[in-house]
Amino acid sequence: MNTVDITEFKGRNRFLSNFYAVNVMWEGEEYFSVEHAYQAAKYLYGSVIRSKIRAEVDPRKAKRLGRSPGIQKGWDNLKLSVMETLVSRKFFDNPGLRNLLLNTGTGLLQEGNWWGDRFWGVYKGEGENHLGKILMKVRGKLTQTCSTCTREVPLDPPKMAIFSKGEKSGELVFCSDECWNLAADSFRSISKIQIRQRHVLLGGLEDR
């Protein structure tokens, strides 16, 4: 696991860039990269410019198309949440990229750039680094804590229990069979057990 700060999204860290080629869904349509989808999201569904962005392979040209007239009203209030949604889908839907992001550990992710972007990145030592902040936020969502030993476990854990008791409900995550068995000893009764793939869904758990 890499704990070194990453200050540029190039070379071996190119996967962090929005230009990285990976299919991303937005409003039922597939795009060639996060950059494509983000630029398309500026325009209303079904618009001509959206179709042009979606058809363009080169992310640089897609970015230029995203400067066309007709950007939807209130876009500045939407762009951060749209970007977070798209970056989340990029890593949640692609296990290989997800593992690469997790392997950055707790290091700083900063999009240092030469083109003067101080909103999404950092230019000449100054910038808000919103893309880097979103990447670190998404990285945090990709890990959970084992309910028994508090060890960090991947988003798709070996065992997961979703329980309800009266008006209370929640989710328990276990990193191993051993931790699962230790927790199971504290349950007096278990009902409605279902096994789906590697997840264990439980209902009606009662404390001893």
**What six digits make up the tokens of 41?**
């999201």
Confidence of residue 187 (pLDDT cuts 50, 70, 90): low
pLDDT, tens only, 128-148: 999 999 999 999 888 777 777
Burial of 105 (0-12, 13-18, 19+ CB in 10 A): exposed
Q: Which residues contact 12 (CB under 8 A, 6 or more apart)?
A: none
What pLDDT does 179 receive? 78
Write the DSSP symbol of residue 20: S
**Domain assignments of the chain as residue spans, ordered by start:** 11-141, 152-207
The predicted structure's pLDDT at residue 176: 76
Q: Which CATH class is domain 11-141?
A: mainly alpha
CA–CA separation, 32 and 101 (whole Å) = 19
Helix H or strand E encompassing 202: strand 199-207
183 has pLDDT over 80? no
Instruction: Supply the pTM of this predicted model.
Output: 0.73
Kindly report, residue by residue over 50-72, the tens digit of the pLDDT: 999 999 999 999 999 999 999 99
